């Protein structure tokens, strides 16, 4: 089912728009940091937060005293975005210089979760960030659960916008003696740095090695 609605229809360069769940899921799954937009008392706020996807549901978490999450839990409209910057597109003019990117926008209303779903949501978020980590770490205590807010955002209205490829210069500018092309950008995991109090013989988890090899 298409996620396209009047509110998510891309009007600027519509050929770059996508509304299928497969493309949306791919963009969401490639990252774990989203920005949550919400209006509180007439003032817009955009807050970065970790998230996880479970099918067609997004889970968000933060402090139980977070003003943004407490307000979002009341069922007000929210806007969630995830963006990946894949490269700088260097054209022969400033006007046509651009960026290659994958960007997802999800609109809807969020609801708080509790009980078993809350623990499940935290596991989803943890494994979305680093798959396999949740099975190894200590689970949350009751005190920690009470201090954490978790929201459930169904994916019902969304769009994806993607730009790829080289610059598109004006025809007469191709003769200019200016370097043009794409400078690729990637987010690459570095070498793990052990905690100072970690026993020296503690092996690096397999899921960490897997993350670095990708």
Residue 108 in any domain: the answer is: yes
Give the model's confidence band at 2: pLDDT under 50 very low, under 70 low, under 90 confident, else very high.
confident
Cα distance between residue 104 and residue 107, in whole Å: 10
3-state secondary structure of 202: coil
Give the pLDDT confidence score for residue 214 in this predicted structure.
62
Residue at 195 is within a domain:
no
pLDDT of residue 67: 87
pLDDT at 208 over 90: no
Q: How many domains does the chain have?
A: 1
Q: How many CB atoms lie under 10 A from the CB of residue 192? A: 11
Check if the beta carbon of residue 40 is closer than 8 Å to that of residue 67: yes
Whole-number mean pLDDT of the chain? 94
Residue at 211 is within a domain: no
129 domain-assigned = yes
123 in a domain, yes or no? yes
Distance from chain centroid for Cα 109: 17
Q: In angstroms, what CA-CA distances link 114 with 61, 122, 154, 169, 189?
A: 12, 11, 16, 53, 33
Q: In the predicted model, what is the mean pLDDT of residues 118-145?
A: 95
Which phi and psi (to 5°) does residue 172 adopt?
-70, -20
Residue 126 pLDDT: 96
In a domain, 184, yes or no: no
H/E run at residue 72 = helix 67-72
| Residue 6 maps to a domain | no
**CATH number, residue 43:** 2.30.110.10
Instruction: Show the beta-strand stretches assigned E in the chain.
Output: 17-18, 33-40, 43-54, 57-63, 77-90, 98-109, 111-112, 148-154, 157-163, 181-184
Residue 196 lies in a domain: no
Read off the pLDDT of residues 153-202 as tens digits, 9 standing for 90 and up: 999 999 999 999 999 999 999 999 999 999 999 998 889 999 999 999 99
Give me the domain span that covers residue 111: 14-169
Cα 119 from Cα 116, distance rounded (Å): 5
Retrieve residue 21's tokens: 């769940």
> pLDDT digit string (tens) for 70-107?
999 999 999 999 999 999 999 999 999 999 999 999 99
Per-residue pLDDT reduced to its tens digit, 7-44:
999 999 899 999 999 999 999 999 999 999 999 989 99
Q: What is the mean pLDDT of residues 126-153?
A: 95
């Amino acid at each position: 089912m298409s996620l396209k609605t009047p509110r998510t229809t891309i009007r600027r360069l519509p050929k770059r728009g996508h509304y299928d769940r497969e493309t949306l899921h791919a963009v969401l799954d490639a990252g774990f940091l989203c920005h949550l937009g919400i209006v509180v008392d007439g003032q817009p706020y955009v807050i970065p937060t970790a998230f996880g996807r479970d099918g067609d549901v997004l889970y968000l978490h933060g402090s139980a005293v977070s003003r943004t999450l407490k307000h979002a839990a009341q069922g007000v409209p929210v806007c969630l975005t995830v963006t990946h910057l894949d490269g700088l597109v260097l054209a022969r003019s400033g006007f046509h210089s651009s960026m290659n990117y994958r960007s997802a926008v999800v609109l809807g209303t969020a609801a708080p979760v509790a009980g078993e779903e809350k623990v499940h949501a935290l596991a989803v978020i943890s494994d979305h960030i680093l798959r396999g980590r949740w099975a190894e770490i200590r689970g949350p205590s009751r005190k920690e659960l009470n201090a954490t807010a978790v929201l459930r955002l169904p994916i019902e209205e969304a769009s994806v916008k993607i730009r790829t490829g080289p610059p598109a210069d004006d025809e007469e500018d191709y003769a200019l003696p200016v370097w043009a092309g794409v400078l690729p950008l990637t987010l690459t995991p570095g070498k793990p740095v052990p905690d100072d109090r970690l026993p020296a013989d503690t092996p690096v988890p397999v899921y960490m090695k897997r993350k670095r090899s990708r």
